[in-house]
Amino acid sequence: MSTDQKAEESKINQDISLRNNNIDEEQNEISKELPAYNNDPFGDEEFSDVKYKVMTWWQCGMIMIAETISLGILSLPSAVAALGIAPAVVIIVSLGFLATYTGYVIGQFKMKYPHVHNMADAGEILWGPIGRELLGAAQLLFLVFIMGSHILTFIVMMNTLTDHGTCSIVFGVAGMILSLVLALPRTLKNVSWLSISSFISILAAVFVTMIGIAIQHPAKGIDITVKSDLYHGFLAVSNIVFAYAGHVAFFGFISELKEPAGYPKALYLLQGSNTTLYVVSAIVIYIYGGRDVASPALGSTGPVLRKVAYGVAMPTIVIAGVINGHVASKYLYVRIFRGTNKMSQRTFASLGTWVGITVVLWVIAWIIAEAIPVFNNLLSLITALFASWFTFVDLVYMCPANAP
């Protein structure tokens, strides 16, 4: 290559580099002028090192299933025991249809405001800066509490598998570290492959539990209806609500779809799967487990089958928490770097910030798990504080007729 050709090639490369820098500067200037809900957090990814908007609808559906069908299903048989078969089935099915509608409303809201990435962005559209901070803080707290509940279930699982082989704090730390490592990928597409094993895991665990209880048949009577007090009735309904409480993460999932128009298919895949599985597993386990059925339901089997069920359930116990942890970390990450191109870079600042956020959130979740060591009480607290609001209540304001 001649000297002139080398000089010309060098000049072309400099022009391309300068043009890309100018594009980045223009995008940053535009981003600064736009309010948060008009600022796409991922921007134009054509030249990005890390591309986020690459998920297909079925990958999104599997992530939604893995996030939603996990801890909640383990408490449903005890909810049936507290309410009776008839009221429990009516509530499970009714809330399933309602959750489908509210999930669809989230999709409509996202189509109307394409740059909404989380509940904080939706809150800013609905109620201004106060709504942004209120819903943003509530979303983060909700997700961290869910992360804590998964660490707590991991502790219960390890105590069962090892016959309390060591201190529960050690198991809690192990669960925290494992979850933290799996939550480190920055894109949901990378996490989506884990969700497939999570779904297979929870299906296998539920079938092992149902078959094991059917063989042992420890039931001491079943009830079509139950005269319950306020505390036990509220706790049971709260656990059913929690089983559908995946909506808090839906904006983030849609934001990383390659084709956001495919979201309804992902939603129907989720809701068809969870409502069917909830009704079948809750009724079968209750009929054979009886009034004293355990929560989590895996504890209703005998000692050997209990270990088998918990071993099979290990992937979903961990991965469902990982997905919620990823969404929580992504909320803070987007909040810090929104309007810049740092999110799509592989720099020390970008990676260091992501890792730092992830570590801090999982440490907080571990502290929560150690502070509230009773599964049902933790689920009830989470539901009372956040689940009903994010899954059913605030979505009324997001209906197209009500949204600004």
Q: What is the mean pLDDT of residues 358-377?
A: 84
pLDDT at position 30: 39
Angle CA 245–94–223, to nearest 5: 100
For the chain, the average pLDDT equals: 82
Helix 303-337 vs helix 168-182: crossing angle, to nearest 10: 50
Q: What is the mean pLDDT of residues 274-296?
A: 87
Chain Cα centroid distance, residue 309: 22
- Residue whose tokens read 């994010």: 390
Q: For residue 376, is pLDDT > 60?
A: no
Angle CA 268–271–277, to nearest 5: 135
Give, in order, the Cα–Cα distances in Å from 233 to each of 88, 279, 384: 10, 18, 13
Sequence ranges of the domains in the chain: 47-397
Q: What is the mean pLDDT of residues 225-254?
A: 87
pLDDT at position 220: 67
pTM, whole model, 2 decimals? 0.83
- What distance in Å separates the CA atoms of residue 134 and residue 112, rounded to the nearest whole number? 22
Q: What is the mean pLDDT of residues 338-363?
A: 88
CA dihedral (210, 212, 216, 222) in degrees, to 10, reads -20
Which CATH code, of 1.10.4160.10, 1.10.10.10, 1.20.1260.10, 2.60.40.1930, is assigned to 47-397?
1.10.4160.10
pLDDT at position 34: 43
- What distance in Å separates the CA atoms of residue 342 and residue 29, rounded to the nearest whole number? 14
Q: What is the mean pLDDT of residues 235-252?
A: 88
